[in-house]
Amino acid sequence: MVRCAPHPLLAGLVRRYTGFVEYGPRRLRRREVAQEQVTLILNLGPPLRIGGPGEPTAQRGSFVAAITDTWAITEHDGVSSGLQVDLSPLGAHMLLGVAMHELSALVIPLDEVLGREGSELVEALAGAAYWPARFELVDRFILRRIEAARPPSPDVAFAWSRLVETSGRIPVAALARELGCSRRHLVARFREQVGPAPKTAARIMRFGDAVRRLSLDDGSRFADIAVDCGYYDQPHLNRDFRDLAGTSPGEYVASRLPDGFGFAAGP
């Protein structure tokens, strides 16, 4: 893996670029849990197989994975290569130029969102010889589209920043009071520029905070981590793990992959 920070002008919109190449002797499956970011996979190798609850497994090349309150399994036969772009939802809204609630499927083929521009970007990445050149290509592509895009609404940007600051612990009613608007107004704006409603986004953020803490834990502090992350108790955390990861906290921690780039999903 090769990681790269985006251009400084993209701060707060694009979180990270990760180039990856994998070669292995056997099939590799990963569990992809709900996350508070939008992910672009610019595929430079064989297609991935992707499926999840209510979604039949299908082959995908380059794709967009928006913020959803579910999980997925990705799989390949030992060879995989590409470039991953991690975006905030507001950055994704500006880059993709669509209402984010329209991206409610598990994954969406890149060309359905970016059209020929997306296909040409992937072709250019495949023709670049080195990762720095690929990162520069992606930087230029995103900067051009962001510069031409309408900025996020100030109320949505403020609400999202408050959710990030509190790791999803601030109640939606308190957010609406701080903004001086109705919950209905806030929900409508979130659907357009973030995707899920504020309450769902907050739930995913609390879950993400728990996942990050559990990833550094040996399994001995599950109950304490649950309370620290805003859950009523460990059973509450367990329910979220079943919904947003498709497994239990203990099984999730036990399945950590040594590369730090995902979690195994069984044979």
pTM above 0.85, yes or no: yes
- At 135, is the secondary structure helix, strand, or coil? helix
Whether residue 260 is predicted with pLDDT greater than 80 in this model: the reply is no
- Residue 75, beta-bridge partner list: 29, 49
User: Would the CATH topology of 2-148 be identical to that of 154-264?
Assistant: no
pLDDT of res. 241: 93
Residue 235 has pLDDT above 80, yes or no: yes
Q: Per-residue confidence at 139, pLDDT binned at 50, 70, 90?
A: very high
How does pLDDT run across 70-116, given as a tens digit for each residue?
999 999 999 999 999 999 999 999 999 999 999 877 899 999 999 99
Domain borders along the chain are: 2-148, 154-264
Reading the block at residue 103, the tokens are: 């991206």
Proportion of the chain above pLDDT 70, given as a percent: 94
Q: Which tokens is 108 given?
A: 């969406």
Those residues whose C-beta lies under 8 Å from the C-beta of residue 114, and which sit 6 or more positions away, are 96, 121
Which CATH number among 1.10.10.10, 3.40.47.10, 3.30.70.20, 1.10.10.60 corresponds to the domain 154-264?
1.10.10.60
Residues 6+ away with beta carbon under 8 Å from 171: none
Instruction: Find out whether 178 and 154 touch, Cβ atoms under 8 Å.
Output: no
Whether the per-residue pLDDT at 127 is higher than 70: the answer is: yes
Long-range (24+ apart) CB contacts under 8 A made by 125-129 are 125/42, 125/44, 125/83, 126/44
Task: Please give the pLDDT value at position 267.
Answer: 41
The reported pLDDT for the residue numbered 263 is 47
Predicted confidence (pLDDT) at residue 162 exceeds the cutoff of 90: yes
- Please tell me the class of the 2-148 domain: mainly beta
Bridge partners, 82 (sequence order): 20, 43
